[in-house]
Amino acid sequence: MKRTKFIVVTGGVCSSLGKGIVASSTAAIFKSAGLKVAVMKLDPYINVDPGTMSPFQHGEVFVLDDGAETDLDLGHYERFIDTPLSSFCSVTAGKVYSEVLTEEREGKYLGGTIQVVPHITGKILSKIELAAKKMKADIFVIEIGGTVGDIEGEPFLEMLRQMRYKYGKDVLSMHVTLLPYLAASNELKTKPTQLSVRELRRMGVTPDIIFCRADTKIPKALLKKVAYFCDVDEEAVIPAETAHSIYEIPLKFQKYNLGKIVSDKLKFKRLKFKLSEWEKGVMAMKKAKQILTIGLAGKYNELDDAYLSVIEAAKAAGFAFQKKIQIQWIDTEKIEDKDKNELQKLEEVDGIIVPGGFGNRGTEGKIQVAQYCRTHQKPYLGLCLGSQIMAIEFARNVLNIKDAQSEEFDEKKKSKNHIIHFMADQRKITKKGGTMRLGAYPCVIKKGTLAHKVYKNAKVSERHRHRFEFNNKYRVQFEDQGFIISGTSPNKKLVEIVELKNHPYMIGSQFHPEFLSRPFRPHPLFHGFIEAIVKEKK
């Protein structure tokens, strides 16, 4: 049996340097050589998982096939390596501490003193080993969140020291740091990188490869300086300069022979890296000139990361038609207040996406957005909540059910018509906790519908993250008036896809198609959305 090789990515100087992109790019390079790769995220925060964390602070929650609610970096991993990951690939300090404490309460440690070393660090390492085994990876890339020097991150770095002691040359350490630019002296500085590496070495870890992040061109002399002061081979100090697109990064890293450097250090036999797909994809992106403006009627407009997968899916679909996607944020609370500037955006954008979300803030504005798209033949794509909004609007303004509402938004039970509701038997169909549908579920698509046309398939699997469902009580009433239920669960009890008859493109999915979109293979619903816009503009 082949022994798994490990690559561990750490970060220094500051956060948000792109450790996830470095990890993803490295994994993509080795997948191109025919190896089975997987990527894992270790998050030092004490939350058990990102499921209940605010998107304002943490960005989107990325859901996997098995229902795991994970960090947005898992989305980067899947988009780059085009391999479905599992809950084993997402571990937080909160999850680790919780499990250790539960085991202590159950008497597993026989009354012994529970300590960070060896119990917490040992638990982290055991999770890495389990994930590598479950994913059957030849090469397993592990990103440690946060920054070297963070208090909560120290157990993870101590684990890395132990890991290198246990697995020796089968473990490679990569460190991503910032070279800050000083405008007054017009120079990049290496001292923060030196200090970051010094702190890492204090923890017993010496990096094998250093990635230097900068927004400007890095002189070779500075790369040599980093190599000298950080005791790293010159060839192993790799510039990570800001690129036009994150999907250029694997190609840029490979120009600096990253594949060969890592292969040599991990003692792989000669590998052939085939990045032709990436080259074609990046070339297609560069050819995109014409701009399409897509309105995003979301709830967390202050932070792009809150809708990262949606934006990436829209961009990927745009590139398929050699179009650049420009996002125009639509504040639905301002729509509710009849703000003229916000209402003007509805006219100016080429199409509108209403993404998922929880809570009733801004929902009346979203309903107005859906009404505008329906009555003005504006292409509309509703994701999860967006599909529910589409149904409520149709009920109110076409079926004349004026109090049509979602049970989620009607806490005081003022409405008698919950078009969207919490199903009585939902506890039988949810995977965990009896409150949410999480993860991949099958969907059967009705032939002759728009959904069938864009999917070109009658059976698909899509990822969910929601509590409320379309109320079957209203199905016949809706369909009689041109509101088509084009996708359902195999037993036909759950509505999965809805669409509007006699409209260029007004479709909503109860699931999150953005999670399965890839940079060079956009999801069918996004591809169809952009295709409809392109046809409308001709």
Active site residues: 384, 512, 514
Q: What is the secondary structure of 255-316 as a DSSP string?
A: HTTHHHHHHHHTTPPP-----HHHHHHHHHHHH--EEEEEEE--S-TT-GGGGHHHHHHHHH
The CA-based dihedral angle spanning residues 392, 398, 400, 405, taken in that order and rounded to the nearest 10 degrees: 0
Residue with tokens 């004490």: 46
Residue appearing with tokens 């969907």: 443
Burial label, 339 (beta-carbon count in 10 A; 0-12, 13-18, 19+)? middle
Q: Classify residue 180 as exposed, middle or buried by CB count within 10 Å of its CB (0-12, 13-18, 19+).
A: middle
- Type of residue numbered 142: I
- Residue 42 φ/ψ, nearest 5 degrees: -110, 115
Question: Which residues sit opposite 377 in a β-bridge?
Answer: none
Which residues lie below 8 Å from residue 191, measured CB to CB, with a gap of 6+?
A: none
Distance (Å, rounded) from C-alpha 81 to C-alpha 191?
34
Helix (H) or strand (E) holding 421, with range, is strand 418-421
Six token digits for residue 227: 């190599």
Q: Judge residue 444's burial from the number of C-beta atoms within 10 Å of its C-beta, 0-12 exposed, 13-18 middle, 19 or more buried.
A: middle
Cα(189)–Cα(186) distance, rounded to whole angstroms?
10
Which amino acid, 158?
E
Report residue 164 as tokens: 């290198």
Q: Taking each helix axis from N to C terminus, what angle separates 308-320 and 524-537, rounded to the nearest 10 degrees? A: 50
* 219-226 contacts at long range (C-beta below 8 A, 24 or more positions apart): 219/188, 222/179, 222/188, 222/190, 225/190, 226/190, 226/193, 226/194
Q: Cis before residue 118, ω within 30 degrees of 0?
A: yes
Residues 6+ apart with CB under 8 A from 115: none
Q: What sign does the CA torsion over 108, 113, 116, 122 have?
A: negative
